[in-house]
Structure 1
Amino acid sequence: MRKSRILAAVAVGLAVPLATAVPASSHGHVTGPPSRAALCAAGTVKNCGEIQWEPQSVEGPKGFPTRGPADGTLCAGGNSRFAQLDDPRGGGWPTTRVSAGQRLTFTWKFTARHSTTSFSYYLTKPGYSATSKLTRANLDLAPFLKVPYNGAQPPTTLSHTATLPSGRSGHQVVLAVWEIADTGNAFYQCIDVTF
């Protein structure tokens, strides 16, 4: 009896550190074209703070565009730990070259495969200034691509291909939103492009 209690205590003692060692913040991010989070994680962009170690953790309240993160905090998902993602850096974020009508593939890498409601992709409006923080007022709030996922779990990588809208020029931002089905959150990724 005493031996089984000791073994049980040892098992519990080992389980607690192992359970807390697995980060609760592992989820997913856009790797191609590289999101701001991915650029920070790769070291392409410096002075990113904690996001350089956690590009998959840009999580905030779901329900965008009617709910979700506050304007000006969309790229960080409303998470102040990752506020560097909301800084427009004077329009200096590296961009991916694109053209109107082009088919562009967005690739997500997942470190936790959550039950998923949908993926949505929004683009800034014509005339957007890349020196401004991202707000609902400077986004077209009708997604140019929405992919329902009906509660399924995505694989470890997943790609969506969309036709980019016309009427844009210069530096624009794509806001990609991965909405989780079984929590109150979504994951937010900003991708800088140049038309």
Structure 2
Amino acid sequence: MNRRQKIGSAVTALAVAGALGLAAAPAAQSHGYIGGSNSQLIARAAMPGNTGLGAVQYEPQSIEGPKGFPAQGPADGTLASGGNTRFSELDQQSSTRWVKNQVTNRTVDVAWNYTALHATTKWEYYITKPGWNQNAPLTRSSLELIKTVPYNGALPVQGEKHTLTIPADRTGYHVIYAVWVVDNTTNAFYNTIDVTIQ
């Protein structure tokens, strides 16, 4: 074998080893979404009947973006995707675009379906304000905080519920925006939940 053949064989061997290494590497960690077995609500990304979801239909647990909402985090108009361009279909907003969860009580339980546990700072839940524009991109100015659940860096518990109280002046179509703030990274997970409140 001449020198050129030896180099070619070595390059081929490295390429094969690299490909095998990539094949054996674990997939990107998955994380969680609203829609656990104890949840009365399901996030937009996982809601049965929603179509045209793109890549997020295969990984509704991966809507991750910079934390610090509302001062930081995803830009207005990209809140539903968490600012993640792979999931930009979620940012489409109109009164008829998404299947709605039906809410008949002023209190509702939500639970996350965790596919990987992360040390948690807190969860925050927002809801759209009265008179919000249902046919415009979702913005932080259209949301108000209704619940904070502090967690002090512990790992979340699968099936744990958070009880939300829907303000008395909300009826019809609204969006609940859920933020799971990870304690030991710079990111959070963002979930948009479409509801019709009776």
Do both share a fold (TM > 0.5)? yes
Matches within 5 A, 1:99-178: 99=104, 102-140=106-144, 143-178=145-180
- 2:116 and 2:24 map into 1 onto residues whose CA distance is 15
Write the deviation string for residues 62-92 of structure 1: whole angstroms up to 9, x where unpaired: 0001110000100100001001111014532
Q: Secondary structure at the match of 1:66?
A: coil
Q: Which residue of 1 aligns with 2:3?
A: none
Give runs of aligned pairs for residues 53-92 of structure 1, distance below 5 A: 53-92=58-97
SS of alignment partner, residue 108 of structure 1: strand
Q: CA deviation at 1:18?
A: 6.5
Whichever of the two has the greater Rg, that structure is 2
CA contact (8 A) 2:106 2:168 kept: no
The amino acid of 1:114's aligned partner reads H
TM normalised by structure 2 equals: 0.82
Q: Secondary structure at the match of 1:91?
A: coil
Q: How many Å apart are 1:27 and its aligned residue?
A: 0.5
Length, aligned pairs only: 177
1:24-47 Cα offsets, whole Å, 9 max, x none, are 2400000141111112xx4x2111
- Correspondence for 2:102: 97
Q: Secondary structure at 1:83's aligned position in 2? A: helix
Q: Please, which moves more after superposition, 163-172 or 59-68?
A: 163-172
SS state at 1:123 partner: strand
2:53 to 48, 53, 56: 48
Q: Distance in 2 between matches of 1:18 and 1:112?
A: 21
Equivalent pair of 2:95/2:173 in contact (CA under 8 Å): no
Q: What is the rounded CA distance, in whole Å, between the counterparts of 2:42 and 2:172 in structure 1? A: 18
Please list every run of at least 4 consecutive aligned residues from structure 1 whose deviation after the TM superposition is greater than 4 angstroms.
none
- For 1:90 and 1:172, the matched residues in 2 are separated by 9
| Cα distance between partner residues in 2 of 1:93 and 1:61 | 25
Q: Indicate the SS of the match to 2:77.
A: coil
Q: Tell me how far 1:137 sits from its aligned partner.
A: 1.5
Shift of 1:109: 0.5
Rounded Cα–Cα distance in structure 2 between residues aligned with 1:19 and 1:144: 44
Contact 1:124 1:138 in 2 (8 A): yes
> Which runs of no fewer than 5 residues in structure 1 stay unpaired?
1-11
Give SS of 2:45's match.
Answer: helix
Counterpart residue identity of residue 23, structure 1 = A
Deviation at 1:19, TM superposition (A): 5.4
TM-score by structure 1 length?
0.84
